[in-house]
């Protein structure tokens, strides 16, 4: 019998999402006879303790009797239980300084850590995540900010709606101005952005038309890898080569700066990947962008004027075009930036259901049948030792800080 525990999220600020909803827990127990699920009591979870109890799931204050523990965000080091197997987003595989102590704790307590972010198919495609709903919420927030700046329309915050279905109803009768919107990326985040574009009635156009003409209605263009990056030596764009050698490429997005009013950014970024534009570009007279929703949210990343996170309640700030200083939003000489690190928390019930479906389909069967190659590839630490694939984290785990 495999005992699975759903942990109470301990990170501050609190995250209200869950790995499995009450209905999903009930389904798992009914369809996997070798499994029993326990849910740690929580006052802040988007599904109440009562909903789990009504679904027939055991509630408990302690998960010490469980074999595998599922969470969402990082577990505070002081809450890590010894010799347990955890699955959550650890944010350690890139040597993130703020989670160094967390990895050290996992090793010292003999724990096993499987990181959702590292669960990938053989071709490197991520298996599980909240990207789609990050795209949904981020695109809405970006358009909300543009409406506030221009005064042409008004949208309420997503978190003020009960669920995605209710959010859709708020778009009935919405009339947007003839703005040009650039959508970057091709993954789950971009799919969420495109869903909102279509629900808002924004028309997709080809790149050539986007760059060469104006429209009497709102339009968007989706820019993927080959549209955004070019090889420095004019060689053809190759996705695998780009991810292996990003320094060999330059950004092509500057071509779109004079033609774009809103940027909805869903592109992957790492430290060697070219930025979409350089910070100094916002001083140019032909820099037309008024609002940027940096949905993938990398500080000083693909959007160089992202200077840090805002809150769900207050998601937008301005960047002064002359000084690059952070300002209040919607000022005449500023560019507005929407940057929030936990966007799916605005639709936690929908996002949790979406996440749990992926977990049930791709991860749970492998847990029940024994270790799979997919889970092995995502296991950062096993029983208190770094696995071979993550040996590069040795110095990080030893307490060293990179310059």
Verify whether residue 73 is a known catalytic residue: yes
Q: Which of the residues 73, 85, 353, 382 is marked catalytic?
A: 73
Burial 55-87, CB ≥16 within 10 A → b, else e: bebeeeeebeebbbbbbbbbbebeebbeebbbb
Verify whether residue 109 is a known catalytic residue: no
How far apart are the C-alpha atoms of 316 and 307, rounded to whole Å?
A: 11
How far apart are the C-alpha atoms of 207 and 222, rounded to whole Å?
A: 8
CB 111 within 8 A of CB 381: yes
How far apart are the C-alpha atoms of 199 and 277, rounded to whole Å?
A: 29
Binding site residues for NAD(+), as ranges?
227
Burial 133-172, CB ≥16 within 10 A → b, else e: bbbbbbbbbbbbbbbbbeeeeebeebeebeebeebeeeee
Q: Which of the residues 3, 26, 91, 376 is marked catalytic?
A: 91
Residue 370 corresponds to which tokens in the numbers above? 């024994």
CA atoms within a 13 Å half-sphere pointing along the CA-CB vector of 365: 6
How far apart are the C-alpha atoms of 318 and 325, rounded to whole Å?
A: 8
Active-site residue set? 73, 91
């Amino acid at each position: 019998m495999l005992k699975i525990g759903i942990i109470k999220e301990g990170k501050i600020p609190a995250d209200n999402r869950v790995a499995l909803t009450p209905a999903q827990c009930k389904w798992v127990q009914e369809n996997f006879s070798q499994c029993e699920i326990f849910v740690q009591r929580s006052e802040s979870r988007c599904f109440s303790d009562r909903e789990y109890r009504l679904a027939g799931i055991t509630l408990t204050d302690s998960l010490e009797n469980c074999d595998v523990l599922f969470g969402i965000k990082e577990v505070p080091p002081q809450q890590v239980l010894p010799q347990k197997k955890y699955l959550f987003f650890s944010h350690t595989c890139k040597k993130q300084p703020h989670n160094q102590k967390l990895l050290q704790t996992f090793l010292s307590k003999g724990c096993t850590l499987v990181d959702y972010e590292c669960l990938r198919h053989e071709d490197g495609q991520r298996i599980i995540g909240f990207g789609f709903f990050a795209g949904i919420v981020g695109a809405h927030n970006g358009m909300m900010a543009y409406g506030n700046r221009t005064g042409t329309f008004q949208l309420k915050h997503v978190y003020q709606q009960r669920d995605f279905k209710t959010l859709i109803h708020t778009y009935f009768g919405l009339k947007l101005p003839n703005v040009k919107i650039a959508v970057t990326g091709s993954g789950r985040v971009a799919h969420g952005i495109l869903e909102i574009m279509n629900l808002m009635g924004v028309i997709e156009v080809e790149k050539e038309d986007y760059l060469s003409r104006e429209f009497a209605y709102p339009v968007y263009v989706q820019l993927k890898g080959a549209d955004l990056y070019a090889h420095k030596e004019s060689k053809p764009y190759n996705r695998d080569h780009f991810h292996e050698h990003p320094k060999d490429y330059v950004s092509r997005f500057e071509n779109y700066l004079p033609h774009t009013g809103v940027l909805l950014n869903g592109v992957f970024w790492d430290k060697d990947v070219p930025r979409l534009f350089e910070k100094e570009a916002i001083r140019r007279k032909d820099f037309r962008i008024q609002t940027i929703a940096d949905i993938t949210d990398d500080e000083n990343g693909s959007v160089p004027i992202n200077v840090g996170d805002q809150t769900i309640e207050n998601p937008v700030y301005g960047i002064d075009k002359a000084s690059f200083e952070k300002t209040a939003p919607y000022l005449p000489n500023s560019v507005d930036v929407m940057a929030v690190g936990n966007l799916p928390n605005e639709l936690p019930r929908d996002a949790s259901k979406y996440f749990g479906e992926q977990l049930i389909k791709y991860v749970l069967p492998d847990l029940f049948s024994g270790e799979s190659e997919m889970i092995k590839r995502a296991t950062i630490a096993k029983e208190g030792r770094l696995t071979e694939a993550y040996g590069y984290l040795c110095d990080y785990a030893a307490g060293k800080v990179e310059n």
